[in-house]
Chain A
Amino acid sequence: MTSLVQRNPGWTIVLALLGAVLLWLIVAPWPAGMEDMFGRKRIFLNALFNGITLGALYFLVASGFTLIFGLMKNVNMAHGSLYLFGGYIGYEFAEATGMWLLAFVFVFVFVGLLGIILQFVVFRRMEGEDLRQTLVTIGLSVVLADLMLWAWGGQSYQILTPDWLSGPVTIPLVSGTNRAGEAVYLTYPAVRIAILLASIALGVLMWLALNRTRIGMLIRAGVDDRDMLAASGVRVQYVFILVFAFGAGLAGAAGIVGGTFQSIAPGEDVRFLLASLVVVIVGGMGSILGAALGALLIGLAEQFGSVYMPTYSVVLTFMIMAFVLAFRPQGLLGRG
């Protein structure tokens, strides 16, 4: 960290200044002139929090995608379909039993098993032929999307938030002043805060598992050199199956999260596949930290874009991607 600061003093100052400005924007009550220029502070804070929670959801979907890609060098274009499928069966499970938390476990196991089947039937048969794998998964996503449309119809479903998480919480951040001149504090849906905290915890756990455990060591070794890992006596296929099941299960569980604070409907599969693609392109292939950074950036860009420049929000996301590709084709935290 200190060496990084010493090497790039200019960038460090710029980043520190930006951080300070952002902190001031979040914490301090805005003066009247600012509100005229940028609109209400409440809108800004809401966009910020929505962007961060959306980033958390994108992280859940994209981290499985990037792990699978990093280890097995295959782009699973059916990843969005796994997300949507997880959302649908999570909805069915939650409706049938009324247990929201248990639905995560159920969906994680169920979609993880589906991922194992995929790995056995599709990916093991065409190892190393990345283009063919991509085409097969595109075909699979077309078929799965149509079958899910058949089973669940075209309407959108919303998974009900459990009672203990519904309703807003007050966050000690001033969002504005009321007529009497008193400070008004920001309120925000509790379920979103919970999801945000859960994804941060999951991200930290994943980082720890990757960097501090034996299985994580195997996965990292596999990302670096698969053949060498196999040659040193590790049963690489087992590692593959484990990672694929985990990534698929994570995508399915993310479907419940998405279904709770947005909705699940046909077309969401493509949306989340694309979000994963962009997140992974921006963050860098095969890097969990990169996925987190990319997801945060894209989530913030989408929310701020839709608030401050509604017709061009997609372009903002796209510009970030083009910019990263132009100056750092391997992604922000990818290894060149």
Chain B
Amino acid sequence: MAVGDQTRGARPATAASAVGSASETAGNWLVNIPASYWIVGLVLVFMPAIASGFVLYQILGWAFILGMIALSLMFLAGYGGMVSLAQMSVAALAGYMVAILGTSGVHAISLGWPWWLYVPVAIIIAAIFGTLTGALAVRTEGIYTIMITLAIAAAFFYFTRQNYAIFNGYSGFASIFPPELFGVDWRRPIPFYYLTLFCAAGSYLAVLYVARSPFGLALQGVRDNPRRMAALGFNVVAHRIAAYTFASVIAAIAGILLVWQNAQISPGTAGIPAVIDILVIAIVGGIKRPIGPFIGALIYVVLRTYSPDVLEGFGLSGERFKTLIGLGFLAVVFWSPDGILGLWNRYRDRLRGKTDPLLGEKERP
């Protein structure tokens, strides 16, 4: 598959070097953190000092949430070679569970459980759903996976729209608020910003960690050559399904944050356009590295928020931002299949005049 082919060259090298450097300076890990992490981390932590509430809540908070859902897709696609379009549905299911088990505007359905009960239950249910999706999807490979997960996502959308007993049909649920923990109103911009930042950073680091763990390395081995891994005694199917479970947990956490941010959830949350958007975000950012989805999400959210104004400035209707996003996606897929990160890598390599280690000539762009 194309993803596998493209990533094959880059991935094992970085994974191997990371393992090597970690074992050399195991006691002194704090020094080992790259400078870019410190800079980005400090900027993000002190962002509330410079940014307005709107930027914190509607742009950065939303970008973190979409980035987490796209991250779960990136984990499956980049490390497992499985492009799953059902991750948005997993996230939406977790959001629905928050509305159904917790409190919402629809008193007839919501059960009113306390947060410490409904949050873990929502994550577990969504993870089970994601695992079942994975169990179906891993029976096939490559583009078939895309088709089947797209069909599952569509079934989820139509089911939530038809079902009134549990999912309250077309209108969904409204007035779903996060719990007032430690006397903080988590819907205020600054607390919500830190909450999403914490979850996004946590899932980013979790993906980094899992990718370098024995499980993650075996998963990358399965992506590159399932037959050889099976011959070595690895259970290929189990590794793939476990990858779906892990990715679904990240998507579920993001789904809970999403429903708290919007205070509502409806079938449209996981409609086909939303599902495609997650794919666009992951691909535009780049599915080779876990930071890609967050970059893609930031670009998407900024475009989505400001492009109507720009389009209207050119005398076009603001609704045409979808064409803009679609054209941008097409441009990325046509000219840089590994996303914005790929562009950056090539630019850097050209600056350094890096040569291919095997052929001794300049790497082709």
Contacts and interface: CB of A to CB of B under 8 A. Distances in A.
Given A129-B2, A317-B155, A143 B162 contact: no
30 contacts: A130-B143, A131-B1, A131-B142, A135-B333, A138-B276, A138-B329, A139-B329, A139-B330, A142-B326, A142-B329, A143-B322, A143-B326, A147-B323, A270-B154, A274-B150, A277-B147, A278-B151, A280-B147, A281-B151, A310-B162, A311-B162, A311-B163, A312-B159, A314-B158, A317-B155, A325-B136, A325-B139, A325-B140, A326-B139, A329-B139
A136 interface: yes
Contact of A136 (B144, B150, B330): B330
A278 B153 CA distance: 12
A321 B150 CA distance: 12
Contacts of A131: 1-3, 83, 142-143, 146
B142 A130 contact: yes
Contact of B155 (A140, A146, A318): A318
A136 B333 contact: yes
Contacts of B142: 130-131
A158 interface: no
Interface of A: 75, 129-132, 134-136, 138-140, 142-143, 145-147, 149-150, 270, 274, 277-278, 280-281, 310-315, 317-318, 321-322, 325-326, 329
A75 B146 contact: yes
Interface of B: 1-3, 83, 136, 139-140, 142-144, 146-148, 150-152, 154-155, 158-159, 162-165, 272-273, 276, 279-280, 283, 317, 319-320, 322-323, 325-327, 329-330, 333-334, 337
Nearest to B316: A150
B195 to A, nearest CB: 31
Contacts of B327: 139, 143
B217 to A, nearest CB: 23
Instruction: Kindly list the 6 A-B residue pairs having the minimum CB-CB distance in the complex, ordered from nearest.
Output: A142-B326, A143-B326, A131-B2, A318-B155, A314-B158, A139-B330
Kindly name the residue among B148, B329, B333 whose own CB sees the greatest number of chain A CB atoms within 10 A. Answer: B333
Given A277-B147, A321-B148, 11 more contacts: A130-B2, A130-B142, A134-B146, A135-B279, A140-B330, A146-B326, A270-B272, A311-B165, A317-B155, A318-B152, A325-B139
Contacts of B1: 130-131
Contacts of A132: 2, 333, 337
Question: Looking at chain A's contact residues, is the secondary structure mostly helix, strand, loop, or mixed?
Answer: helix
B278 to A, nearest CB: 12
B330 A143 contact: yes
A318 B163 contact: no
Contact of A314 (B148, B155, B279): B155
Contacts of A140: 326, 330
Given A136-B333, A317-B155, A325-B139, A150 B272 contact: no
A134 B143 contact: yes
Given A130-B1, A131-B83, A138-B279, A322 B136 contact: yes
A326 B150 CA distance: 17
Given A277-B150, A278-B151, A142 B159 contact: no
Nearest to B272: A270
B147 A146 contact: no
